[in-house]
Amino acid sequence: MEWWKDVLIYQIYPRSFQDSNGDGIGDIPGIISRLDHLQELGVDAIWLSPVYKSPNADNGYDISDYREINPEYGTMEDMEELIDQAGRRGIRILMDLVINHTSTEHYWFKESRDKTSPYADYYYWSPGGADGALPNNWTGFFGEDCWEFDPQRCEYYLHLFARSQADLNYHNPAVLEEIKDILRFWLDKGVAGFRCDVINILWKDSLESSKKRLALTGSEHYLSLEGTHDILRQLREIWDEYGAFTVGESVFVTPQRARDLCGKDRRELDLVFSFEHMECDQYFLKWFKRKFRPKIFFDCLVKWQKELDWNAIYLENHDQPRSIPRFGSEKFWKESGKLLATLVLTLRGTPFLYQGQEIGMTNFDFTRMRQLNDVESKNVDKVLRRFHVPQKLRWKLIAKTSRDNARTPFQWEGGEGAGFTSARPWLGINHNCAAINLADQEGDEDSIWSWYKDLSALRREREVLRQGEFVPLEAGRQVFAYRRELGEERLTVALNFSDDPAQVSLDGQLLRSNYRRERFEGILQPWEAVILE
């Protein structure tokens, strides 16, 4: 059995986890100081969002040096210390591998501005049309044009994300060699693997214009192409040498595309994050939210459980709003927080938790655009402004969906600074930290935190929860129920995604209920989660 099928993985967004030196910014020594917390939760591996040197246009997803640590986060010694200290606790470190693009501050890019430099072809450059027209009609992920003119080279460069994130040109074999060196550099330091950022768009087959789409015009020239699979097969050789684990973030992924990446016969990556279940409360684009319908969500989860042998199970990350207000209920905050915990920790696959999820953190309570930091939110605001969308409506769309919802500092304590910092935090702390914080939940057996710890321990104890087959029982308008089966062992999970009670006909002895009841007689209370043996 591969080790990564047996573990619980926890994502840290370093900027918002723990500040150790009073500058309002989370850092690596801060993470080290909180390793006990992770150990208590039963975390086996940390996915660390980028800590490399970066001008932070996209908070580290714009890397200017892959072999340096961002000084705001600490030093290389701190990073080595983290790998070491985590290792002593049996916790592995996974780095974020962002290789679709680099920051325009990276020296490769600076050199690339000179057509005679050996780095000239490290990026996609194009002179554009005769009349100053852009090289093609593609559109980017962050709602802007994806070409930027560089006055020094007098050409445009491609950037599918922010304008300071230039796409690397893998048609130049030297680029892949650079990446291989970087992988070895980190694997030699003892990291256990990588979360691979937007990994299915590395290869662009041509720069031709294409059919206009509502979003991502041009994507047929880079989505999940054979060139990308070829690159991954080459990287796989290095990963295999070190026994490294890889989980890919792949955009617009279908079950087939996922199997093409991590099917047993292909094994280009070990796992992929799918997005379909995160899109069931939207029309086409994430900015256009629609009412959350549990049935659509359940059907989607069942579909992926069936289509793939092994899924990456998650409900939150640094790009998504928090899960309780989204899939749960703020009115039944505690109950629904525990119910979502039950879902994540009892589906078949490798569970990923995102920092703050274990205490039920909610979305930001900002009221103005000015309080936001996220480059994507800012760009989208600009675009909407260009279309004369009134301010109120702009804010409504952005507030619900902004990535900053998940990026506010971790709420360790109730007081000012929330135990996160003694200074002014880089991004506002939610005022509900007086009510939602770890310190309070630690002393409370009935807290969301205690429930996460309990279920994580149960999962560790019961092989059926880790390895068992998934058998769907009910995916209705309210209730999601399924069984996990391994040999003679059977556990049934029933979840009521509703403010109203629900009746189910399931039998078995009650093992857990988030209502702490003694017996279960077939009625699920609002947002009740039960596990039956």
x-or-dash string of contact with Ca ion, 206-225, rule CB under 5 A: --------------------
Query: What does 216 bind: Ca ion, ligand ISL, none (CB cut-off 5 to 8 Å by kind)?
Result: none
Please state the closest distance from residue 235 (CB atom) to ligand ISL, in A. Answer: 18
For ligand ISL, which stretch binds (CB under 6 A), given 37-45, 200-208, 312-320, 388-396? 312-320
306: left (phi > 0), else alpha (psi -120 to 50), else beta? alpha
Quote the CA–CA distance of 312 and 321 in Å, as a whole number: 18
Please report whether residue 58 would count as binding ligand ISL according to CB under 6 A: yes
Contact, 448 vs 359, CB < 8 A? yes
Q: Binding mask 133-152 vs ligand ISL (x if CB under 6 A, - otherwise)?
A: --------x-----------
Phi, then psi, of 269 in degrees rounded to 5: -130, 165
Catalytic center residues: 197, 249
Site string for ligand ISL, 396-435 (x = CB under 6 A): -------x--------------------------------
Footprint of Ca ion on residues 12-31 (CB under 5 A)? 19, 21, 23, 25, 27
Do the beta carbons of residue 183 and residue 238 sit within 8 Å?
Answer: yes
Under rule CB under 6 A, residue 251 binds ligand ISL: yes
For ligand ISL, give the closer residue by CB, 32 or 99. Answer: 99
Contact call for residue 98 and ligand ISL (CB under 6 A): yes
Q: Which of residues 149-178 bind ligand ISL (CB under 6 A)?
A: 161
Give the residue from 320, 348, 312, 380 showing the smallest Cα distance to 139. Answer: 380
Chosen from Ca ion, ligand ISL, none, partner binding at 58 (C-beta under 5 to 8 Å by type): ligand ISL
Which of ligand ISL, Ca ion, none is residue 197 near (CB under 5 to 8 Å by kind)?
Answer: ligand ISL
Smaller CB distance to ligand ISL: residue 320 or 525?
Answer: 320
Dihedral angle over CA of 204, 209, 212, 216, nearest 10:
30
Non-local (6+) Cβ contacts of 454 within 8 A are 512
Q: Is the Cβ of residue 216 or residue 495 nearer to ligand ISL in the bound state?
A: 216
**H or E stretch covering 440:** helix 438-442
**Among Ca ion, ligand ISL, none, what binds residue 251 when CB lies within 5 to 8 Å by partner kind?**
ligand ISL
Pick what 442 binds: ligand ISL, Ca ion, none; C-beta below 5 to 8 Å, kind-dependent. none
Query: Is residue 277 a contact point for ligand ISL (CB under 6 A)?
Result: no
Cα distance between residue 303 and residue 278, in whole Å: 14
Please provide the DSSP assignment of 99-135 as one string.
-SEEETTSHHHHHHTSTTSTTTTSB-EE---TTS--S
**Residue closest to Ca ion when measured from CB atoms:** 27
CB of residue 275 to ligand ISL, shortest distance in Å:
7
- Match 């690159």 to its residue by tokens: 231
Least distance in angstroms from the C-beta of 14 to ligand ISL: 13
By the rule CB under 6 A, 316 interacts with ligand ISL: no
CB 139 within 8 A of CB 146: yes
- Closer by beta carbon to ligand ISL, 59 or else 342: 59
Structure tokens at 7: 């573990």
Residue 19 touches which of Ca ion, ligand ISL, none (CB < 5 to 8 A by kind)? Ca ion
Triad 200, 57, 284: Cα angle to 5°: 45
Buried b (16+ CB within 10 A) or exposed e, 463-480: ebbbbbebebebbeebbb
**Residue 61 binds to ligand ISL (criterion: CB under 6 A):** yes
Strands of 24-78, DSSP E:
45-48, 52-53, 65-69
Which residues 6+ apart lie within 8 Å of 527 measured at CB? 328, 329, 332, 335, 336, 338, 339, 496, 497, 498, 499, 514
Q: How far is the CB of 200 from ligand ISL (least distance, A)?
A: 11
Instruction: State the minimum distance, in angstroms, from the CB of residue 96 to ligand ISL.
Output: 8
Sign of the CA dihedral running 68, 73, 77, 78: negative
99 in contact with ligand ISL (CB under 6 A): no
Compute φ and ψ for 157, nearest 5 degrees. -115, 150
Q: How far is the CB of 447 from ligand ISL (least distance, A)?
A: 29
Residues in contact with ligand ISL, total (CB under 6 A)?
14
For residues 23 and 319, which CB has a smaller minimum distance to ligand ISL in the complex?
A: 319
Burial of 452 (0-12, 13-18, 19+ CB in 10 A): buried
Residues 511, 461: Cα–Cα separation, whole Å = 13
Q: Is 78 in the site for Ca ion (CB under 5 A)?
A: no
Q: Which residue is nearest to ligand ISL (CB)?
A: 61
Piece in contact with ligand ISL (CB under 6 A), picked from 70-78, 314-322, 404-412, 525-533 = 314-322
**Could you list the residues that contact Ca ion (CB under 5 A)?**
19, 21, 23, 25, 27
Which residues make up the interface to ligand ISL (CB under 6 A)? 58, 61, 98, 141, 161, 197-198, 249, 251, 286, 318-320, 403
